[in-house]
Amino acid sequence: MIKIKDISTALSLFEDAAKKHAEATREGDYKTGNKNYNKVIKAVSYLKEQDSIDELLSYLNHDVIGVRLAAATYLLPKHEKKGTEVLEAISKSSDFFSFIAQTTLNEWRKGNLIL
């Protein structure tokens, strides 16, 4: 696995892994999905350790819906309004990920989502 040396590396890892995780989820490839989910978590953990989670804000407008979904989810604790706006927009779409976005919002609002 890639060693994260700086914020730029963490952001690149996040973007690439979120894309691959979304694609694998859409295709039902759980092995690739899980592998890339772990990379997303590693990147997010590094950003949190560096007090740089705000760097994910730039991904809220990403062209890949899976990247937007991941960024919005991990921004909820610090940027709840922006994160929920993106998740609500995804949940109202006809995309495959609408159910995931709605479930994420529901669990966040119930206090069940620990990020």
- Taking the C-alpha atoms of residue 52 and residue 46, their distance in angstroms, rounded to an integer, is 8
| Residue 11 CA from chain centroid, whole number | 11
- Find the helix packing angle between 7-27 and 30-49, rounded to 10°: 150
Is residue 88, in this structure, part of any structural domain at all?
A: yes
DSSP letter at 93 equals: S
pLDDT given for residue 1 in this prediction: 60
pLDDT tens track for 57-108? 999 999 999 999 999 999 999 999 999 999 999 999 998 999 999 999 999 9
Task: Give the count of domains, the chain.
Answer: 1
Is residue 115, in this structure, part of any structural domain at all?
A: no
- Taking the C-alpha atoms of residue 64 and residue 26, their distance in angstroms, rounded to an integer, is 12
DSSP letter at 62 equals: -
CATH of the domain at 96: 1.25.40.70
CA angle 79, 24, 58 (to 5 degrees): 25
pLDDT tens track for 4-59? 999 999 999 999 999 999 999 999 999 999 999 999 999 999 999 999 999 999 99
